[in-house]
Amino acid sequence: MAAGSSRSIVIIASFGISLVVGLLLVLGLTGGFRSVTAPSAIGGPFQLTSHLGETVTEKSLQGRPSVIFFGFTHCPDVCPTALFEMSEVLRALGPDAKRVNAYFVSVDPERDTVAVMKDYLASFDPNLRGLTGDPAAVTKMISAYRVYAKKVPQDNGEYTMDHTALVYLMDRAGRFVKPIDLKRKPEEVAAELKNYL
């Protein structure tokens, strides 16, 4: 084989490699990997019970956008703050609040029974639904949503929960869109949500 043709093979091969490297770089820099993998990676089948006793499943996410927050009723600050912010957004939505699913999913089903959730939700917007279930059903949903939740024992013999505090936005098809930022004016978040109605 002539030196010339082996050199052109090397040139073609290195051109191919630089194309792949370049594509990987572009994808990495633009977050292309995340947008390609995230929608299928977050979400999936689940079956829980709302604080009003309704059965809620992944099919409940169909036809309207959903805002989903995972937490627990014994949470001292992060959860009540997030639920207060979600309540403010629902208020800002006005009648459109009825066209959005707003879910607070317990990561602490041992303590968060339907009755406990019902008491707790009384302090927040009536459109918010608290979801709980048996521990296996809750674990199934939190794994499908890639939520981190871990029991942390306390000195008094009780425990608290370390948990993901993201608020998930799902579209009308029940597909994950992105985490939604509630640290804004409620009207601003409401305006953004209206784009998904």
Query: What is the contact surface with Ni ion in residues (CB under 5 A)?
Result: 71, 75, 78-79
Tokens 């998904």 belong to which residue? Answer: 196
**Closer residue to Ni ion in complex, CB, 79/190:** 79
Structure tokens at 65: 């956008």
The end-to-end CA distance of the chain, in Å, is: 65
Tokens 């209206």 belong to which residue? Answer: 194
Cα 12–chain centre separation: 45
User: How far apart are CB 54 and Ni ion at their closest, in Å?
Assistant: 24
Distances (CA, A) of 134 to 30, 58, 84: 40, 17, 26
**Closer residue to Ni ion in complex, CB, 93/105:** 105
Q: Do residues 23 and 160 lie in contact, with contact meaning Cβ atoms separated by under 8 Å?
A: no
User: How far apart are CB 163 and Ni ion at their closest, in Å?
Assistant: 6
Buried b (16+ CB within 10 A) or exposed e, 26-62: eeeeeeeeeeeebbeebbeebbbbbbeeeebeeebbe
Question: Which residue's CB comes closest to Ni ion?
Answer: 75
**Closer residue to Ni ion in complex, CB, 93/138:** 138
User: How far apart are CB 44 and Ni ion at their closest, in Å?
Assistant: 23
Tokens 């006793």 belong to which residue? Answer: 53
Structure tokens at 197: 């109605």
User: How far apart are CB 161 and Ni ion at their closest, in Å?
Assistant: 7
**Closer residue to Ni ion in complex, CB, 93/168:** 168
**Closer residue to Ni ion in complex, CB, 36/78:** 78
Tokens 């784009």 belong to which residue? Answer: 195
**Closer residue to Ni ion in complex, CB, 68/93:** 68
User: How far apart are CB 21 and Ni ion at their closest, in Å?
Assistant: 42
User: How far apart are CB 126 and Ni ion at their closest, in Å?
Assistant: 21
